[in-house]
Amino acid sequence: MSARIRKIVTHMEDVLIEGGREASPPLRVCTVAAVVRNPWADQGFVEDLRPAILEVAPELGEALVPRMLDLVGGAEAVEAYGKAAVVGTSGEVEHASAMIHTLRFGNKLREGAGGSSFLPFTNTRGGPGCAVMVPLKHKTEEGTRSHFLTTECFIADAPAPDEIVVAIAGATGGRPHARIGDRYQDMEEMDVDQTGARRS
Q: What is the pLDDT of residues 119-163, one digit of tens each?
A: 999 999 999 999 999 999 999 998 899 999 999 999 999 999 999
Q: E strands within the chain? A: 5-18, 21-37, 80-87, 121-125, 131-138, 149-154, 163-171
Q: Are 175 and 19 in contact (CB under 8 A)?
A: no
The percentage of the chain sitting over the pLDDT mark of 70, rounded to a whole number, equals 96
Is residue 195's pLDDT more than 70? no
Lowest mean per-residue pLDDT among 2-6, 58-62, 108-112, 185-189: 185-189
CA dist 25 and 44 (Å) reads 50
5-190 in CATH: which number? 3.30.1330.110
Every domain of the chain and the residues it spans: 5-190
Q: Are 37 and 6 in contact (CB under 8 A)?
A: yes
